[in-house]
Structure 1
């Protein structure tokens, strides 16, 4: 079966959730799934759900436990580049049917990795691998390579009324 490249991007909520929904569906079809979370390094609720209910889905975070607010540190860059190198090996191994690169576009936005490295990963993927990339700020060069692009658009959000992120809903 041919694998495609998916992008979930935009300023709206739901990019990671859409990717995790696809992981759930693939897992239910007995496909082998790997989720790489870039920039993220905290124990979000979706990670607990994977660990508790989908142990056959492999997940690894390549963040340092804090969100990058200003300039990324050398440690942020090193963690992200290490993650991309590990993913490149996994892609070539053909061990997985679906690989999700969650927040890869945020890593690109903060210049933690090069766009060339991500393009190389996409163009060298095995034909049967389904590859999903998420995050705000998807570059046009990568959108051009994708087979499916969904832009999440924020129309209205309760954050604008001062509502903080809620456990189990936003994290």
Structure 2
């Protein structure tokens, strides 16, 4: 099976959820998954659940949330460390599915170099499926992916003042 590159992007809810769904499907088929997250750090509900499942390794490469501000050198250092570990995971032979959650945002904020990411993706073993997520995907990332799904927000209850709820959005 030749691995493909998926991209889940757009301003709608469900990008990480879609990637996790694919991870569950892969684990059900006895594949091993490396699940990495840029930007995020912490015990989100999905992270707590995934830690209870065999055949998935989880890494987070986020620092203090800067999403309302600008990243600093600490954020960039964490992202570079993440990219290095992702390269090692992809090339280890241990994983058939590698999820790189929020990579589009990491690229948008220049936390990592796009050429470094593409070098890793383009030189991966043939059997490794790569799943990329994040809003504000650059055109070059869309062009590189084999499958692109755009989550489009049509309506969301946060517009009525309903904040993120544990177990649903966080």
CA distance in 2: counterparts of 1:120 and 1:139, whole angstroms = 16
1:20 paired with 2:20, answer yes
Distance 1:165 1:67 in 2: 18
Residue 65 of structure 1 and its aligned partner are, at CA, apart by 4.5
Tell me if structure 1 keeps the 8 A contact 2:9–2:137: yes
Aligned to 1:94: 93
Report how many residues are paired: 170
Q: TM-score, normalised by structure 2?
A: 0.97
How high is the TM-score relative to the length of structure 1? 0.96
Residue pairs, 1:1-171, within 5 angstroms = 1-52=1-52, 54-171=53-170
CA distance in 2, matches of 1:3, 1:166: 35
* Cα contact 2:31–2:55 (8 A) shared by 1: no
Contact 1:34–1:98, Cα closer than 8 Å, also in 2: yes
Q: CA deviation at 1:13?
A: 0.3
Q: Secondary structure at the match of 1:106?
A: helix
Contact kept in structure 1, 2:10 and 2:134, CA below 8 Å: yes
Name the Cα RMSD after superposition.
1.0
- Say whether the 8 Å CA contact 1:7–1:150 is kept in structure 2: yes
- Asked if structure 2 preserves the Cα contact closer than 8 Å seen for 1:42 and 1:65, the reply is no
Deviation at residue 140 of structure 1 after TM alignment = 1.2
Stretches of structure 1 that go unaligned for 5 or more consecutive residues are none
Shift of 1:144: 1.2
Alpha-carbon contact 1:13-1:152 (below 8 Å) kept: yes
Any runs of at least 4 consecutive aligned residues in structure 1 with deviations exceeding 4 A, and if so which?
A: none
